[in-house]
Amino acid sequence: MSMRRRVKIGRRKPIEEAEIIVIPMIDTMMFLLFFFMVAALAMVVQAGLPVNLPKASTGVNHSSQNVTITIKPGPSGQSLFYLNTAPVTPDAITAGLENLHVTDKNLVIINADKHVYEGDVVTVMDDARKAGVVQFAIATTSKG
């Protein structure tokens, strides 16, 4: 007697189609987006020179795409004036702003040391107004 074995041929399971899982891809893209946003913000540098700024509790940071006029106390008591980082005389501020093509839409940041005379700041603002500037900001540091 021969024994025959029955071979059971099972039904094949249907092949599942491959899926692209997008959640890890979205996570990676969000990480890259945040990384480049933070890196771009870290590269922004203010165009002015370092001075001893007065403190204000309502101070705000401004973009470096604006024009900065720095006023520092000089060694002989006279104030030193800088347009962005270039030294200028008070009479040349209007011409310097016109050469930078500053319009009424630009913001001019006055970066004045706390030991300079208020008259020098007013003179700079008046010269900037002659060049067509209408928006000013006074640079300060935070209290505390």
Q: In the chain, what are the domains?
A: 67-138 (3.30.420.270)
| pLDDT tens string 30-76 | 999 999 988 887 776 555 566 666 676 666 554 445 788 888 888 88
CA dihedral 49, 53, 56, 58 (to 10 degrees): 0
Residue 129 is predicted with a pLDDT of 86
From first CA to last CA, the distance across the chain in angstroms is 102
* pLDDT above 70 as % of the chain: 82
Residue type, 55: K
The β-bridge relationship of strands 107-112 and 67-73 is: parallel
Residue 63 is predicted with a pLDDT of 46
Q: Please report how many Cα atoms fall inside a 13 Å half-sphere around the Cα of residue 90, on the Cβ side.
A: 13
Whether residue 125 contacts residue 64, with contact meaning beta carbons closer than 8 Å, is answered with no
Whether residue 67 contacts residue 106, with contact meaning beta carbons closer than 8 Å, is answered with yes
Rounded Cα distance between 94 and 133, Å, is 10
Least confident of 20-34, 46-60, 80-94, 121-135: 46-60
Tokens encoding 105? 């839409």
Give the Cβ contact number of residue 18 at 10 Å.
5
Tokens encoding 15? 């092949």
pLDDT range class, residue 7, cuts 50, 70, 90:
confident
Tokens encoding 8? 């059971």
